[in-house]
Amino acid sequence: MIKPNPEQEYIINYFTQNNSRNRVLLVEAPPGTGKTFTAVATAINYTYFNIKTNPLYNKKVLILTFSKNAKAQIEKQLDILGSRDVNWDKYIEITNFHSFFQKYVWAYSQYLGLKENLIIMSTKQRREAFKNKLSFIPEYDGDDKEQYEWAESLLEGDFRPLTYKGNVKPTVKKLIPYKEDIKDIIKEMNREGYIGFSDIAYYMWKLLQKSQALLNIIQNKYNLIILDEYQDSSDLQDKIIKKLIGMNNNAIFFADSKQMIYGWRGASSERLNNLLNNYMGEIKQKELLEVMRFKSRKDIENTLKEVREGTHNIKNFNSSENIKYIKVKVRGKNIYSKEIKNHMFAVLKYRVFHELPKYKDRKNKSIGILCRGNEQVNLLKKALKEEFNINSQTINNNEDEHNVVCDLIEFMRKQQSKINEDELCREIFKYIFAVVDDSNIGSINRNKLDDVSFNSLKRVRLDILKTIRSYVEEAMVDNNYYKCLCNSIKLINGSELQINYDLMSLVKKVLKFSSYSEDKIMDIFLQYQYLKAFRELKGIYVLNVHQSKGREFDYVYLIDREAINKEENLLYVALSRVKEKLVVFDWVV
């Protein structure tokens, strides 16, 4: 095993060598301090100790995290540290919150008054269902993102989006009187067999409340629970975990108070203080202090330390060996003025392109261009592609992928019935625009798919569109819509369009099976997500800071540090994504 430093060693041996210990540890773990290594090494050491002490030992260590990506990183660490002589699946379970809760909710669905075969709705399906079922509420606008996100997550928590002044967003405020009605409608959908990701924790909580026997079984199964990134947990997740730990089990809460950026999803700045109060007399605090990621990059390490301590000087433009500050000079700074904003981004995109390493220097590197908001992301991605001929990579969220998979299932169902040529055209281009990032293909516009018809293809000039037209014509003769889609996706994959390779890979995997079942497609989807979580990032990624959390890039390009600095902890999260080089852009007048 890798030799731990003294801080790590204390935690690794805490439950095996310290007889006067408390049963709960709260560990402050900043990025780069070896949190994943420490968590896995603790689980291994704890397991070895118990097997040696009791040959009949049959309990498990549960390691709970938030994302599939984090789960994959922990599993990788177990492969590195764990002996091949031990069946670790028997003693250590690594999973994320949703997967862990889902396992029990699905197994006890009928006991909870739900159907046996529950279907997780995609965001697209759920949004449409909400439009229909909440049509009795005059104030509900199904196209309003903030209204939908507040309403659909009500079983998990009342996460009210706030204005910069701390008031509830006006559009959401209008819906608050209907809160209980909306919750009842969600429960009705769940009883019909359709459930959302944000509903699952609610039913896990209900299950633990309803069955003391099941709670006893789970508590007896896991006598050590290790929690990852606990500062981001919601109130409901917090309640469930405390229930599982109970009065006797051991627990380690790894957290970083400076990375708490999901307050809008129920993560609370008081979460860690509440732990201290809840386990008063049973909890000990420790901290991982030694940063190992930047051993030869003290300038990056010192900057992160300053940001963490709140002493970073936002007006400091002094570059160093591994940090470069770029002043983007503009006539004015005002993102609410279209003219000024366009000028700001026109200047910015050339500065960013100028600072990118040459292809030969970056081809085996990962570069994260981190922005405050999605508008910046979209503008830079478009500029890289259209003006500089650089294809950026995409980190898809599960929502995009789940939507595509559920849409494909619906499309395959249509094989059993006839559809007209206009509907087939719309279906084909829906999947084409799912796997490419271009805003339009000739005269076919991504944002106007409802206007697409067979006549749209009669007037096209691009050869690729003419070929798709021929596929549609053939499909209308032999009624083989599936073949039409397969041929179209294959054609797009070999084109010069900007391919979203992750989603292209997923669609191609699903389309390999001419005979299908919904279970088979969902199995393919889950396997795809699992394998994707293990992949190392390579290439240029343009994304917002929230999307970058939990990931690392060789080079980080930070856009508009001043705007990011206005939100507590956000700047720290952005800067801590870097491994080698940091380039910071600030607009100056």
Task: Say whether 266 counts as a known binding-site residue.
Answer: no
- What CA–CA distance (Å, rounded) separates 432 from 122? 19
- What CA–CA distance (Å, rounded) separates 381 from 369? 10
Listed in sequence order, the residues at least 6 apart from 143 whose beta carbon sits closer than 8 Å to its beta carbon are none
What's the Cα-to-Cα distance from 227 to each of 63, 97, 124, 253, rounded to whole Å?
Answer: 6, 10, 31, 5
CB 318 within 8 A of CB 302: no
CB 255 within 8 A of CB 27: yes
Task: Say whether 32 counts as a known binding-site residue.
Answer: yes
Find, among 281, 280, 255, the residue nearest to 268 by Cα. Answer: 255
Q: Which helix (DSSP H) or strand (DSSP E) does residue 557 occupy?
A: strand 553-559
Find, among 425, 427, 423, 358, the residue nearest to 388 by Cα. Answer: 358
Task: Say whether 35 counts as a known binding-site residue.
Answer: yes
Listed in sequence order, the residues at least 6 apart from 76 whose beta carbon sits closer than 8 Å to its beta carbon are 534
The strand pair at 119-120 and 323-329 is best described as unpaired
Q: Which helix (DSSP H) or strand (DSSP E) does residue 204 occupy?
A: helix 197-210
The Cα angle at residue 118 between residues 115 and 121, in degrees rounded to 5: 135
Determine the distance from the C-alpha atom of residue 214 to the mean position of all C-alpha atoms in its chain, rounded to a whole number.
30
Beta bridge partners of 544: 371
CB 104 within 8 A of CB 207: yes
Determine the distance from the C-alpha atom of residue 506 to the mean position of all C-alpha atoms in its chain, rounded to a whole number.
17
CB count in 10 Å sphere of residue 556: 25
Residue 480: what residue type?
A: N
CA 553, 554, 558, 564 torsion-angle sign: positive
- What CA–CA distance (Å, rounded) separates 407 from 402? 8
Task: Say whether 95 counts as a known binding-site residue.
Answer: no
Q: How many CA atoms lie within 13 A of 483 on its CB side?
A: 11
Q: Give backbone dihedrals phi and psi of 584, rounded to 5 degrees, phi first.
A: -115, 130
Task: Say whether 31 counts as a known binding-site residue.
Answer: yes
Q: And the tokens for 65?
A: 């995290």
H helical segments located in 479-578: 481-493, 501-511, 518-532, 545-548, 561-565, 570-575
Task: Say whether 29 counts as a known binding-site residue.
Answer: yes
Task: Say whether 33 counts as a known binding-site residue.
Answer: yes
Residue 228 burial (CB < 10 Å; 0-12/13-18/19+)? buried
Residues making up the binding site: 29-36
Residues making up the binding site for ATP: 29-36
